Amino acid sequence: MNLRRLIDSYLDRNLPSEKEEPKSLHKAMRYSVFSGGKRLRPIITLESAQACGGSQSTAIPAACAVELIHTYSLIHDDLPSMDDDDYRRGMLSCHKKFGEATAILAGDALLTLAFNIIAADLEPKKGSAIIRELSKGAGTCGMVGGQAFDLEYKSKKKNIKTLNYINRLKTAKLFEVSAKAGAIASGANKKKIAAMAGYGINLGMAFQIADDIADEEGYAKIFGMERARCDAQNFIKKAKYHLKTFGKRAKGLEAIADNLWRE
């Protein structure tokens, strides 16, 4: 089974059935989770676990928790009060399909389910450490904080320092947590966890710039395509540098970095 199927299978088993009440809420949750995402973040978690000498099957709860949190963030980002997007991955966004109230609740439920999965399926000490990392990376010190700054600066001119700060919190922090979660689940030492953190944060920065280049928005629009490509490549180099300590075990993570433009 490839990693995408492994992740989808676990998500399918752990998401409530559409036949269970409240049916409309469970349908909205499943609609958003299975809307065609590439599963990049949970794949990073699984590859991280393998690079650290652990088992991908042991890390699957952490990987899927990351994906649930990512999906919740997309649902809320699309809301009229946030980015106000009608479509996500070529499909109607959750609030356009099921209504704004149900979309908000679906996001809330996915965030809650993420921590439930870790608590239920991971050894307590590792689970506690991953919950601590996830809650920090997804909260005001990470993704939610980045979204707040993004909204605050939406109509303001951004310099490089401000934009990098927003990208670091809003996007890169969840990449960092994805990589660290795999290391923690595998029982890695502090040095390896720190190396994975370095890989994740730099990969996340590169990912956001690549996304901006594809959309001709954000980083690319403010600083131009040439600088955007150059800065993204520098972040990729930094990400790969942190993988040296893992040797051949990190081939999967290196491939993700090398193929980022196609992610």
Query: What is the average per-residue pLDDT within 237-252?
Result: 97
How far apart CA 52 and CA 55 sit, in angstroms, is 9
Q: How far is CA 244 from CA 42, 48, 74, 187, 214, in A?
A: 21, 13, 33, 19, 29
Residue 124: other Cβ atoms inside 10 A:
8
- Residue type (1 letter), 145: G
The whole-number pLDDT of residue 155 equals 85
Whether pLDDT at 60 is above 70: yes
Angstrom distance (rounded) from CA 141 to CA 94: 26
Please give the pLDDT value at position 1. 58
Percent of the chain scored above 90 by pLDDT? Answer: 95
- Whether the ω angle into residue 61 lies within 30 degrees of 0, i.e. cis, is no
How many C-beta atoms lie closer than 10 Å to residue 261's C-beta? 14
Band of pLDDT at residue 109, cut at 50, 70 and 90: very high
Q: How confident is the model at residue 31 (pLDDT cuts 50, 70, 90)?
A: very high
The Cα–Cα gap between 63 and 256 comes to: 16
Q: What is the mean pLDDT of residues 84-94?
A: 96
- Asked if residues 143 and 169 have their Cβ atoms less than 8 Å apart, the reply is yes
Rounded-to-integer distance, Cα 79 and Cα 192, Å: 38
What mean pLDDT do residues 41-63 have?
A: 97
CATH of 3-262, picked from 1.10.600.10, 1.10.260.40, 3.10.150.10, 3.10.450.50, is 1.10.600.10
Q: What is the mean pLDDT of the chain?
A: 96
Q: Locate the DSSP E strands across 45-201.
A: 87-88, 91-92
Q: How many Å separate Cα 131 from the centre of its chain?
A: 15
Sign of CA dihedral 215, 218, 223, 227: negative
Per-residue pLDDT of 126-154, as tens digits, reads 999 999 999 999 999 999 999 999 999 98
Please compute the mean of the pLDDT values over residues 82-86 and round it to a whole number: 95
pLDDT of residue 261: 65
Q: What is the mean pLDDT of residues 160-168?
A: 95
Backbone dihedral angles phi then psi of residue 88, each to the nearest 5 degrees: -140, 120
Q: What angle do CA 153, 212, 107 make, to 5 degrees?
A: 70
Q: How far apart are the first and last CA of the chain?
A: 21
Predicted pLDDT of residue 154: 87
pLDDT band at 263 (very low <50, low <70, confident <90, very high): very low
d(CA 123, CA 55): 13
What integer is the mean pLDDT of 234-246?
Answer: 97
* φ/ψ bin of 39: left (φ > 0), alpha (ψ from -120 to 50), beta (otherwise): left
Q: How far is CA 115 from CA 64, 111, 214, 244, in A?
A: 10, 7, 33, 31
Dihedral angle, C-alpha 241, 247, 253, 257, nearest 10 °: 40
pTM of the model: 0.96
